[in-house]
Amino acid sequence: GAGVSQSPSNKVTEKGKDVELRCDPISGHTALYWYRQSLGQGLEFLIYFQGNSAPDKSGLPSDRFSAERTGGSVSTLTIQRTQQEDSAVYLCASSLVGGSVNEQFFGPGTRLTVL
């Protein structure tokens, strides 16, 4: 497929467990973004990767959240010791180059439910 893909599409976990969410960006896109979409809220920026540069982690809500991007392509968002307030849809986007005026293409998201 030509679009951004994310897996799993749904994840149900118990409070205190760790989860990993995966994002496959569009081939050739150097910039990758993670957002969180909570019920009734807009999209909240989490983290930004551009090529091999150090990521901008300024949006991560706590040190339980981390993300990596291997080989400039696939990215994994990890949430440790999940809490109920982490329940949300986690969206990944990629763009050809960095800078938000470059169209960001979003994946379908991973719906995380923490029981």
Partner 1 sequence: QQQVKQSPQSLIVQKGGISIINCAYENTAFDYFPWYQQFPGKGPALLIAIRPDVSEKKEGRFTISFNKSAKQFSLHIMDSQPGDSATYFCAATGAGSYQLTFGKGTKLSVIP
Distance (Å, whole) CA 34 – CA 106? 9
Backbone angles phi, psi at 53, to 5 degrees: -75, 160
The least distance separating partner 1 from the CB of residue 48, rounded to whole angstroms, comes to: 6
Distance (Å, whole) CA 37 – CA 111? 9
Continuous segment of H or E residues that includes residue 88? strand 88-95
Instruction: Determine if 55 is a binding residue for partner 1 (CB under 8 A).
Output: no
Quote the tokens at residue 17: 């467990």
Instruction: Determine if 84 is a binding residue for partner 1 (CB under 8 A).
Output: no
Distance (Å, whole) CA 87 – CA 46? 15
How many residues lie near partner 1 (CB under 8 A)? 26
The least distance separating partner 1 from the CB of residue 16, rounded to whole angstroms, comes to: 28
Compose the 10-49 pattern: x for residues touching partner 1 by CB under 8 A, - for all others. Answer: ---------------------x-x------xxxxxx--x-
Which residues of this protein are in contact with partner 1, per CB under 8 A? 4, 31, 33, 40-45, 48, 50, 56, 59, 91, 93, 98-101, 103-109
